Structure 1
Amino acid sequence: MYSILVVPGPTMSPATHIRLAPGQTLRFGREEAGDGSLHVPHAGVSRSAGEIAATGTYWSLSNLSGSSTYVVENPEGAGEHIKIAPGRLGAPVPFEFSRIVLPAGSELLTLDVWAPRHDYADRDAPGEPDGEPTALAFPLDRSSRYFLVLTALCEPRLRGEPHASLPTVEQVVERLKPVWPAANRAAVQWNIDYLAVKLRLKPGPDTADPGPRLVGKKETLVSLALRFDLVREYDLAVLPAAPTGTAR
């Protein structure tokens, strides 16, 4: 059972997503070891720079550098981050998706880590007795940007147009700009890709199989979200005020 995905930066090798099961580790650094490690070909990165370890629904980072502090950012957290000091071993990272920032000379190199097995219990289910809460079939963090993107995609059909065309990525960007000023095409598309893994439309940490190319990704996401009430009409409150002339 895989639990996290490491998404290497554009100059790193291998360039494909790397899946880790609980207990597995991934070393990264400038040295090309040939043992499955992630090669970061930059003179400003230590030969053995660090290690990522998968642990259930979270992961940890060891900083093997002798002098550089690493930063792990939460792209959803409006600046939320943790610092991993040189020599720190096994620092736990709680974010559902994270960006490791490595200082490399005058540059900052990044690689992403996704932990889509983060679960959210349904504590508000009616009639649920005291005790262990029921885990949701499709766990979503409603405070996240990926939920904001999913809600914007579902908006036309939730507003009474069941056969409405879905908004384009550019239209989603413009729709979310008032509440997410930094929104751009790449960021919205990234969240759509992440949702495909989170909602199990694409094989994610559960399997090493990358799966076939998903055609009609937005349509499939919206269809699933509406069929299982993952997004409802009252969720539209997370969006900025609807533009004049939008059906209600």
Structure 2
Amino acid sequence: MSGVLVHLPSEERTEITPASEPVSLRLGPGDVARFGRGSASVPVDLRLACPAVSRLAGEIRVTEDHWQLSNLSTSQTYLVENPEGAGEYFRVPPRRAGAPVPFEFARVVLPARGAAVSFQVFAPDHAYLGTSGMADLAGTGTLAGFSLDETSTYFLVLVALCEPRLRDESTVAVATTPQIVERLRSRPGCERLTARAVSSHIDYLADEKLRITAPVTGPGQGVRRNGKREAVAGLALRFGLVREEHLGLLPPRRPAFHRPGVAGA
């Protein structure tokens, strides 16, 4: 990784904080940038003009292949969000040193009075292993953990199932069977898709493709069905089997699909 770009957007003047200009820092491997409220005796590279932020709140350290965040506060927990993910984030507790950040684009959020204080970190060139030479290794080939055909109907059902989380409309809910039927019906080849067919595709994904073996319990069939749908979507999203680019496989959205019960929708 050649380095990262740290960007602090401009802030409008408020009763608590003065107006500020945007700040951008370019850091290479081995560089360290400290952030916080700062003072004459506590210099910082990224000044966060908020009285709720520690004078020396934390630091960013760039390594050869990733960057790390240290929380130097004794009481505040920071969040690192992935703005391009489906609500993905992790916490950095007080005094945590060198927490590795896996996101290529991250937002660091510090608690404050009123609106939270945040800045962005861009690490656009993460390194990936190539495949040259791998085919010459001796022994039998490695089987794929999950083998999905992205041209199949069951994959379309999977994408529609995960759509609310991929669009960050809900971190918990997944699409219902009737919603999936309505969502896909305008796509060529899916005009005759039924609720029973969607349920069969979800069963096939759970039992054969994703091999979800944990029992889904509940007092009724509807509860068990909901648990299976949530398990399928959760596993697919955790392992990146369905990603934002797959939303392009779905037909254009209609407002009525996402606003049930609203007059005039």
More strand by share: 1
Query: Which structure has greater helix proportion?
Result: 2
Q: Which has the larger radius of gyration?
A: 2
Q: Which structure exhibits the higher relative contact order, with contacts defined as CA atoms closer than 8 Å and separated by 6 or more residues?
A: 1
TM-score by length of 1: 0.50
